[in-house]
Amino acid sequence: QSVLTQPPSVSAAPGQRVTISCSGISYTIGNDFVSWYQQFPGTAPTLLIYDTYKRPSGIPDRFSGSRSGTSATLRITGLQTGDGADYYCGIWDAGRGAVFGGGTKLTVL
Amino acid sequence: EVELVQSGPEVKKPGEALRISCEASGYSFSRYWIGWVRQMPGKGLEWMGSIYPYDSDVRYSPSFQGHITISADKSSSTAYLHWSTLEASDTAMYFCARHVYCNDGVCHTTDNWGQGTLVTVSS
């Protein structure tokens, strides 16, 4: 059982906005190392967001990240059918190493 | 371009040993932490451990410590994941991945992933 909690599934229609939460994050001063990954079935994860809100080059600005208290949120706007995938949050904890959330399956209706 | 290429699928019996590999290219292999992540069938991602090839500093997840060994060969820019005794519960997809923005073993994120190696352990 993951120490980071995500909803098992979310769904929305094309063109709409969806948010995926990740709770249970213990932040320390200067540690905003929340990442989000997208994974399609049978493929490796890809990095969508790092340091809570930063996007690697090539990731569209439809994907954004934020945090509030002990939770982080991934927001996807202008949903496309190709966004249907599993999404994982992840942090790096000095005591436990890399920790991932349980994953959220996004269905684009 | 950063690329991590993993070895092919494996089918093994319980009790057998196994080593899978991850060959890196496109960056200075020695200077980046590289880790291994397990994904059991239909399940989520689990970090197993990581190595800093420059000095072979290895950090293991408590969940996997003692059951696996992570190593790296700087001369071939290759990281390895080794089991001396496989169990049926080791059946999973295994990914290697590069960590970035690290300081003393604490990293900001994981930016590049290998394609995965499927390991099946069955009698």
Q: Model confidence over B58-115: pLDDT tens digits?
A: 999 999 999 999 999 999 999 999 999 999 999 999 999 999 988 877 888 999 999 9
Q: pLDDT value at position A27?
A: 61
Looking at residue A62, its pLDDT comes to 97
Band the pLDDT of A105: cuts 50, 70, 90. very high
In chain B, % of residues over pLDDT 70: 100
CA distances from residue A22 to A6, B21, B44, B91 in whole angstroms, order as listed = 5, 32, 14, 27
B46 touches A at CB < 8 Å: yes
Which residues, 6+ apart, have CB-to-CB distance to A106 below 8 Å?
A9, A10, A11, A12, A18, A20, A76, A83, A84, A85, A86, A87
- For residue A86, CA distances in Å to A35, A37, A59, B41, B54 come to 14, 8, 16, 14, 34
> Is some CB atom of chain A closer than 8 A to the CB atom of B120?
no
What is the reported pLDDT for A93?
A: 78
* Mean pLDDT, rounded, for A50-59: 94
In this predicted structure, the answer to whether residue B25 has a pLDDT above a threshold of 60 is yes
Interface probe for B, chosen from A31, A88, A100, A105 (most Cβ of B below 10 Å), is: A100
Residues of B in contact with A104 (CB under 8 A): none
Span A67-89, mean pLDDT? 95
A28 — pLDDT class (breaks 50, 70, 90): low
Region A2-12 average pLDDT = 91
Sheet bearing A63-68, strands edge to edge: A18-23, A71-76, A63-68
pLDDT, tens digit (0-9, with 9 covering 90-100), for B30-54:
999 999 999 999 999 999 999 999 9
**B59 and A97 in contact by Cβ < 8 A?**
yes
Return the residue of B nearest to A41 by Cα: B42
